[in-house]
Amino acid sequence: MSTDTASAPASPASSAAATPIRFETNPDAYRHWRLSFDGPVARLSMKVDETAGLRPGYVLKLNSYDLGVDIELADAVRRLRFEHPEVRVLVLDSAIPGIFCAGANINMLGQSAHGFKVNFCKFTNETRLYLEDMSAECGVHTVASLAGTCAGGGYELALACDEILLQDDGNTAVSLPEVPLLGVLPGTGGLTRVVDKRKVRRDLADLFSTLAEGIKGKRAERWNLVDKAIPSSRFLAAVEEHAKSLAGGEGPRGRKTGEAGVVLAPLGGTYTSTGVKHKYVTLEIEDRVATIVVRGPDAPPPADAAAARADANGLWLLRVARELDDVLLDLRFNRVEVGTLVVRTEGDAAQVLAHDAFVLQHADQDWFIFETLMAWKRALKRLDLTARSAFALIEPGSCFAGSLYELAVSADRAYMLDDPDRPNSVQLDAMNRGPLPMSNGLTRLATRFLGDEEALAAAYANDGPYDGPAAEEAGLVTLAPDDIDYEDEVRIAIEERASLSPDALTGMEANLRFAGPETLETKIFGRLSAWQNWIFIRPNATGTSGALTLYGRPERPVFDWRRT
């Protein structure tokens, strides 16, 4: 994290009064990054504009970042995937001499409300994972090029790359100084990636994580904190050469030189105090309950992949994915009072299934269709990781089928109306059987039926349609009350939910949602983030004499030495 920054006088940011945060941007509007291309080699250079923080009250010195910087990073990664299929290698570096990145800005963290800190870390974690996804899914090799200070979140950013090259100049070190300097954790996957991804020995990782000045040069290489320490006189040339050497050949599904990308057009939603309106996805807020409505396709799928490419921004699943993503971020950052999320769909299930079939038919060979599928995968994960109670309401006129059925199984509960006079169904397809895994690596159905292989096999074998009782019987919905009970049942469930402790609910939901095996992702969100969130509210970090509170101030922290 950013060290030795100015101690700006803290002006507590009240999130309610602050202007809402928007998540759409584009390279022409970047304040903090330069994205450039040299054939198959892309370069993303960090040059944080210190005066362009998202909120007043802090200065983004030494390439330290806030949410605004990370929103641009997330945008750059997304655009690389869609707009630059010719790219085979991404070099991540800094355009400020002597500094790679000093991590998250401490004064920004210090003045932020707890909820904002948590969501900031969650967003940055998601972005780091997207960087790793890009490598795994698009074959874009990522190389972090460190020619200067690389501390805290800066090193965590490097850790999210496939390779880390370090300038061996006697000064440049990688470090995770959060524990010794700030009394908190490196919150963006650092500890997890050091031992789990880079397989740094646990005892060495322990030494490293308590050494504020970090480790430099050959020792960093020996401990596998970086892949290679290169003398400064050869550093830039060596990075260049290495990037070129990785840039040959074709990527998966036709990602190659000469291949034209798809420019993502702005979504152009309307945002008001009571909600968000996009083409297919809307958010409507009443008191502490928000309703998300996702609409099914209004036309049959394109004739073929080329036709899909010709109207790329109109492709239903891509658009839905981007809109849902945007709505979820709006909810997390701008609607902090909303505790319960009601998830509805509207439309023709047959059309949803037709679009699913189209996407799945082409995703294997066509990089663009595959990207669309992956965008939906990410949006669903974003929903899984959103700390609000989610109830899916399956009612006549809805289209919880295939890709959209995932919404119902992502939700904490699904209520389905059983009214013989008004047909209502859920339907499955291949989308539910593999291409949209959760962060535990399993499908949502497999996670749901953990330990009940029979039920899973039955669901996988029968796409439906299921009416209410059948869906309840098969375990595809939580409850399917009849028309006499349904309305009351739902009303009471929502009212009851709204009365429970939001903290307890957050913890409970996070524990229940991710049954099954651990992955790097579940460890980052479930363990690292959870511990971090606990530490963030402990007096040793944020009390009046806490280390984070006093960072940059003249006093030294005073700790409560009792361990739990």
Partner 1 sequence: MGNVDLQARIPNNVDLKEDRRLQRALESWQPDYLQWWMEMGPEGFQADQIYLRTAVDVGREGWAHFDYVKMPEYRWGIFLEPSSPDRAIPCGDFAGQPAWQQVPGEWRNSLRRIIVTQADTEPASVEQQRLLGHTAPSLYDLRNLFQVNVEEGRHLWAMVYLLHSYFGRDGREEAEDLLRRRSGNADSPRILGTFNEPVEDWLSFFMFTTFTDRDGKFQLLALAESGFDPLARTTRFMLTEEAHHMFVGETGVGRIIQRAADVMNELKTDDPEAIRNHGAIDLPTIQRYINRWFSSSVNLFGGEISNNAATYFAAGLKGRYKEEDRFEDHVVVEGIYEMPVPHQNGADVARLATEEIPLRNAMNEILRDDYIGDCEFVVDRWNRILEKADRPERLSLPNRRFNREMGIYRGWSFDPEGNPISAIEFERRSADWLPTASDKSYVKSLMTPVLEPGKMAAWIAPPRKGIDGKDWEWEYVRFDKASVGIGLGAKPSLIG
- Mapping DSSP to helix (H, G, I), strand (E, B) and coil, where does residue 258 land? coil
For 73, the token pair is: 């990073």
Question: For residue 144, what are the β-bridge partners?
Answer: 92, 164
CB of 9 to partner 1, least distance (A): 9
The rounded distance, in Å, linking the Cα atoms of 83 and 262 is 5
Q: Which residue of 232, 274, 365, 544 would you call a contact of partner 1, by CB under 8 A?
A: 232
CB of 554 to partner 1, least distance (A): 3
For 253, the token pair is: 């599904």
The rounded distance, in Å, linking the Cα atoms of 410 and 395 is 17
The rounded distance, in Å, linking the Cα atoms of 248 and 62 is 34
Q: Would you count residue 257 as binding partner 1 (CB under 8 A)? A: no
**Identity of the residue numbered 386:** T
As a whole number of Å, the CA-based R_g of the chain is: 24
Q: Would you count residue 212 as binding partner 1 (CB under 8 A)? A: yes
The rounded distance, in Å, linking the Cα atoms of 25 and 84 is 17
- Residue given tokens 């929502």 in the structure block: 494
Q: Would you count residue 231 as binding partner 1 (CB under 8 A)? A: yes
- Residue given tokens 């803290």 in the structure block: 10
Q: Which residue of 6, 299, 492, 500 would you call a contact of partner 1, by CB under 8 A?
A: 6
Q: Which residue of 245, 555, 561, 564 would you call a contact of partner 1, by CB under 8 A?
A: 555
- Residue given tokens 């869906």 in the structure block: 471
Stretch that binds partner 1, among 30-38, 167-175, 355-363, 371-379 (CB under 8 A): 167-175
**How far does CA 215 lie from the centroid of its chain?**
29
35, 42 in Cβ contact below 8 A?
Answer: yes
Q: Which residue of 19, 51, 270, 273 would you call a contact of partner 1, by CB under 8 A?
A: 51
Q: Would you count residue 553 as binding partner 1 (CB under 8 A)? A: yes
Q: Would you count residue 486 as binding partner 1 (CB under 8 A)? A: no
Stretch that binds partner 1, among 136-144, 264-272, 435-443, 549-557 (CB under 8 A): 549-557
Q: Which residue of 56, 199, 213, 492 would you call a contact of partner 1, by CB under 8 A?
A: 213
- Residue given tokens 């109109």 in the structure block: 314
Q: Would you count residue 7 as binding partner 1 (CB under 8 A)? A: yes
CB of 220 to partner 1, least distance (A): 14
Q: Which residue of 169, 259, 348, 395 would you call a contact of partner 1, by CB under 8 A?
A: 169
Closer to partner 1 by CB, 76 or 550: give it: 550
Stretch that binds partner 1, among 230-238, 322-330, 459-467, 539-547 (CB under 8 A): 230-238
Count of CB atoms situated within 10 Å of the CB of 500: 13
The rounded distance, in Å, linking the Cα atoms of 532 and 443 is 27
The rounded distance, in Å, linking the Cα atoms of 241 and 303 is 43
- Mapping DSSP to helix (H, G, I), strand (E, B) and coil, where does residue 274 land? coil
Q: Would you count residue 554 as binding partner 1 (CB under 8 A)? A: yes
Stretch that binds partner 1, among 5-13, 65-73, 405-413, 474-482 (CB under 8 A): 5-13
Tell me how many residues contact partner 1 (CB under 8 A): 22
Binding mask 502-541 for partner 1 (x = CB under 8 A): ----------------------------------------
Closer to partner 1 by CB, 103 or 347: give it: 103
The rounded distance, in Å, linking the Cα atoms of 104 and 108 is 8
CB of 34 to partner 1, least distance (A): 18
- Residue 476 is classified by DSSP as S
Give contact residues for partner 1 (rule: CB under 8 A): 3-7, 51, 168-171, 211-213, 231-233, 551-556
